[in-house]
Amino acid sequence: MPTLGLGTWYLGEDPQRRPDEIATLRLGLDLGMTLIDTAEMYGEGAAEELVGEAINGRRDEVFLVTKVLPQHATAQGTIAACEGSLRRLKTDRIDLYLLHWRGSVSLEETLDAFSTLVKTGKTRYWGVSNFDVDDMEELFSLAGGDAVATDQVLYNLTRRGIEWDLLPWCRQRRIPVMAYSPIEQGRLLSHPELQRIADRHNALPAQIALAWVLQKTGIIAIPRTGSPTHVRDNRAALDIRLTDQDLAQLNRAFPPPTAKRPLEML
């Protein structure tokens, strides 16, 4: 999986923005951001349909990630949901299929469905989203649970709780973490410390926030953007190397956790 991908939350919901959003995804592929993350929940399938159109003729270039809603995650419901996603995405396989968050369906039942989807070639790998350490421990206790390919969680400068326990737990088991909302949907970008560091690098505050996530070991960032300009800016963040001074300033401005925090979600 690439370390920098393309998120699609809220994409596909405004017909007037559709041409720009498709162009943005295609530009992202051109720039090497070949991981596209979506979900059946996003726009009730509209984001998946948008992605399907954007990757038409380029499917083999893409590492495609989508998610099943927890209320659909029964043994048969997961398979039906996957088939619906495949239709909307206009493809015959999903590279990575995630449980969007935990619901009332047992993990054993969802895991059984994931296993069937892998065996039938409808998905290559499976993973989870919004799982904390206790959830991951429970998953690992199940037969086949250690095949989990990723845990996708909220992570950025202002949401550092996973550094206390979840991130080390995943690193120890060589499970990559996918960070959604790595720039907090733009809400942290007016912070003066980010601007100071950005000025030193001749960069934007958003690029510094994204570069901070990308420099972390075992992290894949999936910022969402529907703008070609922003996707170019995101790609440029890969080339920024934050110094020890930069990292120390960011730690002072956005302190790491000093105790266990509940897993945060958006």
Contact 227, 11 (CB under 8 A): no
β pairing state of 177-180 and 219-222: parallel
Sheet holding 94-99, edge to edge: 6-7, 35-37, 63-68, 94-99, 123-129, 151-154, 177-180, 219-222
Cβ neighbors of 225 (< 8 A, separation 6 or more) are 6, 7, 24, 231, 234
The amino acid present at 162, given as its one-letter code, is I
Per-residue burial over 112-132, b if 16 or more Cβ lie within 10 Å, else e, is bbbebbbeeebbebbbbbbbb
- Residues 210, 204: Cα–Cα separation, whole Å: 10
The one catalytic residue among 10, 42, 97, 180? 42
Does the annotation mark 125 as catalytic?
Answer: no
The DSSP result for 24-84, as a single string, is HHHHHHHTT--EEE--TTGGGGHHHHHHHHHTTT-GGG-EEEEEE-GGG-SHHHHHHHHHH
The DSSP result for 139-165, as a single string, is HHTSTTGGG---EEEE-BTTB-GGGTT
- Residues 226, 24: Cα–Cα separation, whole Å: 6
Residues forming the active site: 42
